[in-house]
Amino acid sequence: MASSKKMIKYLVITIIVALLITGFINGAIGSSIFGQERFLEKPAIHLPPQPVFPQSVRDHHLGYSDEHKETKNGYGDAHGESHDSAHDGGHDDHAGDNKDAHADEGHHSTPLGLMDFAITNTMISSWFATVVIVLLFVLGARKRAIIPGRFQSLIEIMFEGVLGFASSVLGNDMARRVFPVIATIFFFVLFNAWLALLPFYQFLGFVNESGTIEAHFIRPAGTDLNMPLALALVSFVLVEYWGIKSHGLGYFKKFLAFGKILKGKPSGIIDVFVGLLELISELVRIVSFTFRLFGNMTAGEILVVMVTFLVPFIATQFVFGLELLVGLIQSIIFAGLTLVFISVATSHEEH
């Protein structure tokens, strides 16, 4: 029994090492050392999300002229396609050049205008995450059993985790009031980050004639600046709402602290200045919220893509582990900071 367990252990280690070596040889580093054909083509990094529907916007975005139009609207299994292209490359000397040219072309794709409407690949991913969350939670809460099953218990553990976290910051009553929004922020960030590690985020896309993905069909929503911004606005509105609700209109005295200077005290100028700083810091939160999540998610996405490019196969698993952690941490930070800001806004500090 023990020896067979050991055998399996050695077998697994051997497979992992073999995959690592194979990945290294076939990846970008190995192929440049050994002069081999690369397993994957150089990934194109797009900072702005790519519009996928309607087609005309996508074409404009990708910079296609009309004569290419019929060749690029197939959904592609990029893995299969890239295999094909690698084989093609073996037969055709020009294939490598083509790929690099196309990859460069990707950088020239024009982002959406500020007011242009299109369904972007990040939006699709956020809908996917939304559907997953709704299915999971609504099914989990469907029975409302006093004695819960395993599935309901799992969902309850998640809810109680968030509720307990909120209670530790805000106290029981307040935590229950803000729980829905906080939990939704938390799970939305979390599921968007974690679901992005599913493989079809990488291989579903719109390909050009040489099989390179020009635009992914679905891309982590966190890498779209608008998603963190939307959540940051929700968080901001929530914080201000509770601030006003607990202080009344006096809440704004924190920002417009003219009381002392109007009484003729010259030292009141400091209060005015402090109020101004408070106001700025309140608004800067939106920016910091937005770019924290955006930066983390985008960095994770780029890391996954680049490690896959450099060492395909198994090396990416370690990055996935890291990304699981980052996704959890970011969702906790987003929800936690919102809680802390609510707590600051609702606290009655004496002056």
Partner 1 sequence: MTELGLNIPSLVAYLINFVVLLGILIVFAYKPLISAIDQRAEKIRESLEAADRAQEDADNSRAEIQAQINESRVEAQKILDQARNAADRFREERMEQAQEEAIAFTERAKSDIEAERDSAIRELKESFGELAIDAAEAVVKKSLDADSHKDLINQILEESTSAGGK
Binding site for partner 1 (CB under 8 A): 47-49, 111-118, 120, 122-123, 126-127, 130, 133-134, 137-138, 140-141, 144-148, 152, 155-156, 159-160, 163, 176, 179-181, 183-184, 188, 221, 224-227, 229-231, 233-234
Backbone angles phi, psi at 207, to 5 degrees: -105, 155
Q: Min. distance of Cβ 243 from partner 1 in angstroms?
A: 20
Q: Min. distance of Cβ 76 from partner 1 in angstroms?
A: 23
Instruction: Work out the number of other CB atoms within 10 angstroms of the CB of residue 148.
Output: 15
Q: Which is nearer to partner 1, 181 or 261 (CB)?
A: 181
Q: Which is nearer to partner 1, 173 or 350 (CB)?
A: 173
Q: 129 and 185 in contact (C-beta within 8 Å)?
A: no
Backbone angles phi, psi at 324, to 5 degrees: -60, -45
Q: Which is nearer to partner 1, 192 or 308 (CB)?
A: 192
Q: Min. distance of Cβ 133 from partner 1 in angstroms?
A: 7
Q: 346 and 246 in contact (C-beta within 8 Å)?
A: yes
Q: Min. distance of Cβ 165 from partner 1 in angstroms?
A: 14
| Segment (H or E) for 280 | helix 268-310
Q: Which is nearer to partner 1, 1 or 114 (CB)?
A: 114
Q: 24 and 293 in contact (C-beta within 8 Å)?
A: no
Q: Min. distance of Cβ 114 from partner 1 in angstroms?
A: 6
- Could you write out the DSSP letters of every residue in 100-120? HHHHHHHHTPPPPPTT---EE
Using DSSP's 3-state secondary structure scheme, residue 48 falls into coil
Q: Which is nearer to partner 1, 21 or 136 (CB)?
A: 136
